[in-house]
Amino acid sequence: MKIFKLMLAWLWVALPLGWGVSQSIRKAAPLFAEGLDGSPAAQTQKPQPRQH
């Protein structure tokens, strides 16, 4: 019975923790992904000079 309680306690903590970590990885993945053409997905554009 003691082992069952211990396993239940670990599951009580590990399942939500694992779900949270997986969600964080899924949301952060686009920051590190590359586009299909090999260019970075989060490529920033240089500001264009203003024309007067």
What is residue 38's predicted lDDT score, i.e. its pLDDT?
59
What is the pTM for the complete model shown?
0.54
What is residue 39's predicted lDDT score, i.e. its pLDDT?
60
Task: For 24-39, give the DSSP string.
Answer: HHHHHHHHH-B-TTSS
What is residue 40's predicted lDDT score, i.e. its pLDDT?
57
Residue 39 DSSP symbol: S
pLDDT digits (tens, 9 = 90+) for 12-50: 999 999 999 999 999 998 888 765 555 655 556 667 778
What is residue 50's predicted lDDT score, i.e. its pLDDT?
82
**How many helices (DSSP H) and strands (DSSP E) are in the chain?**
1, 0
5 vs 8: CA distance, rounded Å: 5
What is residue 8's predicted lDDT score, i.e. its pLDDT?
95
